[in-house]
Amino acid sequence: MSSTNKKKKKSKEVDDETKGKLRALFVGEKKIINGFPFNINDYCYRDGKPVALLECKHRRRPNDGDIKCPAKSTLDLEGNIGDVKNSHNHRKNETLKEERAFHDDLKEASSASGEDLHKVFNAVRRRSDNIPPVAFGNKRSSMHRARSKVHPPYPKNLTDYANTLTEEKWKNYFKYKHGKLQTQKVGSGRDVSVMFYDPDFMEKLLENAEKGKLEFCFDATFNITPTRMKLRQFLTIMIYKGNHAIPFMYALMESKSTKAYQEILKQLCLLFPKIKELDPIFHLDFELASRNAILDIIPTATIQPCLFHFLQVRIVC
Ligand SMILES: [Zn+2]
């Protein structure tokens, strides 16, 4: 059906800066006029002053298309809301205030946490009173939008993830209380891994390391890998200092192949060439790929099978 609205000629266009100021004023309670929710529809000059033209958000959707509510108003640069023109063609939503508070809570909770959105929805619902029935499906997209403004997008795969990590706007995520993490993508094809480490912290851990006495331990788990990226494991390389095993470097890995381990070890030796010179000892589980990769990249390394993993294998058997 073609629109019958005639386009009115405007004497003067409202500039983008003024539009931005009006948009910034149209927040919170200003969006509710006499208990009805309004949107900005357009901008124009009224009596020589720029205003935002507001219209009621309500739409009736009979079979032949949307029917807009005819109620309209204005907002000026002083924040004044004009009289409402035309009557609403629908009833007032008596629970609008509660719905809006719930909506705002959902958006805030979505941006504050990285948890599954459905769980966030349920948690906010549990702590909110007098909430009218509303399904998660109706709120998912606005929750997702709120989160995407403050969180990096969910990556499709590890390469996508590595590219996102290099963007300047997410750099703050790498700071922690005592330093700053760096990331490095290594490998290609199906053997991509993303390494995480703090070179300054690693340097400290390698201080005073003696030849033949530098000991590392490989520990990998599948349990904490992100589910949507098809990853094989999260690897932690620990270093022994005194009687402690301290996390030295981490890697998310797409593959557990010898090649994937080789790329990680190559990068490690590139960062700290002295690791190779110190004939390190590696404590491993009984996986051949990691063992072969270590002996290939650091031929002078000593491999010691790990008693903990040996006992795990025996328990499983
Ligand atoms: Zn209306």
C-alpha to C-alpha distance for 113 and 36, rounded to whole angstroms: 31
**Residue 254 burial (10 A CB sphere; 0-12, 13-18, 19+):** buried
pTM over 0.85: no
Note the pLDDT of residue 134.
Answer: 84
Residue type (1 letter), 65: G
Q: Please name every residue paired with 304 in a beta bridge, in sequence order, or none if there are none.
A: 283
Note the pLDDT of residue 225.
Answer: 80
Q: Could you give the percent of the chain with pLDDT greater than 70?
A: 92
**Residue 110 burial (10 A CB sphere; 0-12, 13-18, 19+):** buried
CA of 22 to the centre of ligand 1 (A): 21
Q: What is the pLDDT of residues 135-177, one digit of tens each?
A: 899 999 999 999 888 878 888 888 899 888 888 888 878 888 8
Task: Indicate the DSSP class of residue 78.
Answer: T
Helices assigned H by DSSP within the chain: 16-25, 96-112, 117-127, 136-150, 158-165, 199-206, 258-271, 274-277, 288-297, 307-316
Written as six digits, the tokens of 58 are: 């309500």
Residue 55 backbone dihedrals phi, psi, to 5 degrees: -135, 150
Residue type (1 letter), 181: L
CA of 69 to the centre of ligand 1 (A): 5
Sheet holding 32-33, edge to edge: 32-33, 36-46, 49-56, 72-76
CA of 56 to the centre of ligand 1 (A): 5
Residue 317's pLDDT band (cuts 50, 70, 90): very low
C-alpha to C-alpha distance for 156 and 284, rounded to whole angstroms: 31
Written as six digits, the tokens of 126 are: 């549990």
Q: Please name every residue paired with 241 in a beta bridge, in sequence order, or none if there are none.
A: 244
Res 269 pLDDT > 80? yes
Written as six digits, the tokens of 186 are: 């290594």
CA of 109 to the centre of ligand 1 (A): 29
Strands 281-284 and 215-221: parallel
Q: What is the pLDDT of residues 66-123, one digit of tens each?
A: 788 999 999 999 999 999 999 998 888 888 888 888 888 999 999 887 788 999 999 9
Q: What is the pLDDT of residues 32-73, one digit of tens each?
A: 899 899 999 999 999 889 999 999 988 877 776 778 899 999
Cα–Cα nearest to 182, from 197, 167, 162, 201: 197
Written as six digits, the tokens of 48 are: 């020589």
Res 310 pLDDT > 60? no
CA of 61 to the centre of ligand 1 (A): 13
Note the pLDDT of residue 314.
Answer: 44
Q: What is the mean pLDDT of residues 277-288?
A: 89
CA of 6 to the centre of ligand 1 (A): 22
Res 24 pLDDT > 90? yes
CA of 251 to the centre of ligand 1 (A): 55
CA of 71 to the centre of ligand 1 (A): 5
C-alpha to C-alpha distance for 236 and 246, rounded to whole angstroms: 10
**Mean pLDDT of all residues belonging to the chain:** 87
Q: What is the mean pLDDT of residues 278-299?
A: 92
Note the pLDDT of residue 88.
Answer: 93
Tell me the residue ranges of DSSP E strands in 173-307: 175-176, 179-180, 182-186, 193-197, 215-221, 233-241, 244-253, 281-284, 302-305
Cα–Cα nearest to 313, from 289, 285, 291: 285
- Residue ranges near ligand 1 (ion) with Cβ within 5 Å: 56, 58, 69, 71, 88
**Residue 119 burial (10 A CB sphere; 0-12, 13-18, 19+):** exposed
Contact 252, 231 (CB under 8 A): yes
Phi-psi region of 194 (alpha: psi -120 to 50; beta: other; left: phi over 0): beta
CA of 108 to the centre of ligand 1 (A): 27
